Amino acid sequence: MKNEIILVDIGNTHFHIFDNEIHNLKEPPKLSGNIYYISVNRQKEKEFLKLNPNAIDLSKYVKFKTNYKGLGIDRIMACKSVDNGIVVDAGSAVTIDVMENGFHLGGIITPGIYAFRECFGKISEVLKYDVEVVDDILPNNTNDALNMGSVGAIKALIEKFAENKKIYFTGSDGKFLSKMFENSVYIEDLVFRGMKKTINELEKL
């Protein structure tokens, strides 16, 4: 993974590396080149910096307009490249953020699809189901009922804030969720686009 500029998004479970391709790694890699990173996991960040001490933390330099208190750097970067619309990052948790004229109006956090499945499994072993695209028909079997209570709940929250706005999906479950919305697009590297924009702003200083 050699490149002039390498971007690293340190998440809760993976190290996401961008060098013109996206690599999702469980363990921290030793990289070469100009390395820029963001992190939501302090312990994994420490592990990464032991191997890459010269990596630059972009969270110290990013400019972003919002009144939201405590907005995570991963959400900031996902939203930074969208001036108008809804940004949905669907991973372990699903975040739904509203952007208007380059300003972040606010957002919500809900459990991700896997978290919902884990939750149902803890209630009862029989509450297992196949994740499927949901519609608005009242369920008449347990599999559809569980889907409506998990995938359907996420869909309803997105619909509540989306109205006629364009929806930008990213994250591991983003492509799946995007299938339920007409005015949507799935962008795998949305977080990295925000990181690139931040680097470009730094270079102009």
Catalytic positions: 74
Q: Which of 199, 172, 152 has its CA nearest to residue 92?
A: 172
E strand map for the chain: 5-10, 15-18, 22-25, 34-39, 56-57, 65-66, 85-90, 93-100, 103-111, 167-170, 184-186
Name the one residue in this structure whose structure tokens are 């919002």.
66
Q: Tell me, what DSSP letter sits at residue 62?
A: -
